[in-house]
Amino acid sequence: MSFEEFTPLNEKSLVDYIKATPALSSKIGADKSDDLVIKEVGDGNLNFVFIVVGSSGSLVIKQALPYIRCIGESWPMAKERAYFEATTLRKHGNLSPDHVPQVYHFDRTMALIGMRYLEPPHIILRKGLIAGIEYPFLADHMSDYMAKTLFFTSLLYHDTTEHRRAVTEFCGNVELCRLTEQVVFSDPYRVSTFNRWTSPYLDDDAKAVREDSALKLEIAELKSMFCERAQALIHGDLHTGSVMVTQDSTQVIDPEFSFIGPMGFDIGAYLGNLILAFFAQDGHAAQGNDRKEYKQWILRSIEQTWDLFNKRFIALWDQNKDGPGEAYLADIYNNPGVLQLVQENYMRNLLLDSLGFGAAKMIRRIVGVAHVEDFESIEEDKRRAVCERSALEFAKMLLKERRKFTCIGEVVSAIQNQS
């Protein structure tokens, strides 16, 4: 069997592929034995994912298909996304090796990535949040990942030649960007056959979103920022389903939506999904497990994530202020006073962007096409609708009034008051 042109793999042909590929076979001992165990586990919407275990190791094979898997060939989607995913996994992996799985192999023709298998007990963070599990290092790890990947791919560290080269490269991922533009920034605010919500309970709420001019004003600004602002190499889909965790490991996966975009889109996606997890907790409460303490843990995690991110990002800036970055040249920002002034201004704007994008990501998960398991796993419609409505009301307020917040602590207080 030849793999010189794109061929969707199955559990059988994958064996041939691995045996023909030393970068993969040597990782797992496939060269020595036929004893490979292969399991297709892609529960996502877009790709095939195989876990492969051999005599001396394991790995994951992820293959992109030229359409959206869960819908089928009627919704085409460039398999080139695998190239951007592999490129970003490697780039972010170099910057934050502790929190990005290693890539062993990438095949552009086959749209195929071979990478580290995140072995049990790694689970998707979203599932951990639904189960009420505390992760003591989560805020620490995620703030570290975001600070490093965003700082080092921005003009705070790049010169503008390198930056425009990166912009050029990732402009190729336009189809995935367009999907985000549609499902995050457009569909929730108009009548669309893709939209859904917990009906009939949220019928009026969904209609209110579609008729809220102030909300539409804000979402337009964010959409323009998403489309126009090349600030850093962002993951592009950094919700709690793109993070795998154990008690002491945090791994960010699936950056197929990555491009040079606004940093706040990543930070907001992550924080917004933690806020969704918070509002879903009442739906998971049961006798003897009221989730009250867990809700407080989520709130602390939100606050710690931003505060640690802020601290680390500024520390990277200070350490690299004489480096190659061209946004703030050392001979202009040449004393601690002016440096502090521009840093505070930068972080203030970044918090506002993050709150705006975070709110937008919350809204779309309640009245748009793709919902989150946090709410979907609440079986009773009425009970789910109560949780979703609280989250939606908070998100609408945040989107419209985010400029009033001066620190993350105030946001956390507002979440508490809403619930």
Interface residues with a copy of itself (CB under 8 A) are 155, 160-161, 163-165, 167-168, 171-172, 174, 177-178, 181, 186, 189-191, 213, 216-217, 220-221, 223-224, 227-231, 326-329, 331-334, 337-338, 341-342, 345
Distances (CA, A) of 282 to 276, 278, 345, 378: 11, 8, 37, 9
- Say if CB 399 and CB 219 are below 8 A apart: yes
Q: How many CB atoms lie within 10 A of CB 100?
A: 26
> Beta strands of 253-400 (E only): which ranges?
259-261
Helix (H) or strand (E) holding 50: strand 47-53
> What gap in Å lies between CA 237 and CA 227, rounded to an integer?
15
Q: Counting beta carbons within 10 angstroms of the beta carbon of residue 43, is it exposed (0 to 12), middle (13 to 18) or buried (19 or more)? A: exposed
97, amino acid identity? P
Q: How many CB atoms lie within 10 A of CB 171?
A: 12
Residue 228 CB, shortest distance to a copy of itself, in Å, is 5
Neighbour order of strands in the sheet with 112-115: 37-40, 47-53, 58-64, 112-115, 103-107
Q: Which residues are 61's β-sheet partners?
A: 50, 114
Q: How many CB atoms lie within 10 A of CB 72?
A: 10
Q: Which residues are 39's β-sheet partners?
A: 51
Two tokens, residue 85: 């995913």
Q: Vertex 277, ends 173 and 297: CA angle to 5°?
A: 120
> What gap in Å lies between CA 409 and CA 56, rounded to an integer?
48
Q: Counting beta carbons within 10 angstroms of the beta carbon of residue 302, is it exposed (0 to 12), middle (13 to 18) or buried (19 or more)? A: buried
How far, rounded to the nearest angstrom, does the alpha carbon of residue 4 sit from its chain's CA centroid? 32
Residue 219 CB, shortest distance to a copy of itself, in Å, is 8
Q: How many CB atoms lie within 10 A of CB 200?
A: 9
- 130 CB contacts (<8 Å, ≥6 apart)? 277, 280, 284, 373, 374, 377
